Chains A and B, each alone.
Chain A
């Protein structure tokens, strides 16, 4: 069974601070996805990274896929209260196996 470990599990920061959350595995994935989930809602896709070493930016969010395609990170610059939510990473493999989700990092940005 492939596992994705996310850290930290919880993070509470002040508005304007920077932060990084991590998604690690001992397994290689064909791609990694990051989702954000707000209270009372389902997860929504933020980004998919598919190439080892790939970096993608989405406004203040920077996503990186590890060179070996076993890990990924999400960096948020100048966090805002609207960034509050649960951040989930999900790994995909070639073939027809479903996504594997990490347990998530719950982020709280305090104004």
Chain B
């Protein structure tokens, strides 16, 4: 299917466990982003990537790791999950970094850390 897909849609994990959220896009967009969405905070950028093997920190990167070995995939790993990382995570992609370029979002992954 064309577009941007996230997996899993829902995940429950225990404190201290490592968990990886997957993101795959079929457009060959250069830019990919990970956001978390929390009540009262809106969408906050965790990490972004301008191309394969190029990643950069966003507003709230602590506790997260990303990689981008292939243009179409941008996994987000929580190295040791904490309850404060309970959130809805959105992956997005865009064609370029040029201002005004549309960002396309996945459906989100709802992560609960118990």
Q: Which of A31, A40, A44, A88 makes the CB contact (< 8 A) with B99?
A: A31
Residues of B within 8 A of A44 (CB): 105
Task: Tell me if B79 is interfacial: C-beta within 8 Å of chain A.
Answer: no
User: CB-nearest residue of chain B relative to A30?
Assistant: B99
- The answer to whether A103 touches B40 (Cβ under 8 A) is yes
Stretch of A55-63, A76-84, A94-102 with 4 or more beta carbons under 8 angstroms from chain B: A94-102
- The answer to whether B100 touches A31 (Cβ under 8 A) is yes
A103 to B35, CA, bound (A): 13
The contact size tier of chain B is 20 to 34
Q: Which of B39-63 contact A (CB under 8 A)?
A: 40-45, 48, 50, 58-59
Q: Which of B43, B99, B104 makes the CB contact (< 8 A) with A101?
A: B43
Task: Tell me if A24 is interfacial: C-beta within 8 Å of chain B.
Answer: no
Q: A50-B100, A92-B100 are in contact. Are A98 and B42 (CB under 8 A)?
A: no
Q: A88-B43, A96-B50, A98-B33 are in contact. Are A42 and B106 (CB under 8 A)?
A: yes
Q: Tell me whether chain A's interface is mostly helix, strand or loop, or mixed.
A: loop
- The answer to whether A102 touches B90 (Cβ under 8 A) is no
Q: Which of B99, B104, B108 makes the CB contact (< 8 A) with A93?
A: B99
Q: Which of B55-114 contact A (CB under 8 A)?
A: 58-59, 90, 92, 97, 99-108
A102 to B42, CA, bound (A): 7
B interface residues, Cβ below 8 angstroms from A: 33, 35, 40-45, 48, 50, 58-59, 90, 92, 97, 99-108
8 interchain pairs, CB-CB under 8 A: A40-B107, A42-B107, A43-B43, A48-B102, A92-B99, A98-B48, A101-B44, A103-B42
A interface residues, Cβ below 8 angstroms from B: 1, 30-31, 33, 40-45, 48, 50, 88, 90, 92-96, 98-99, 101-104
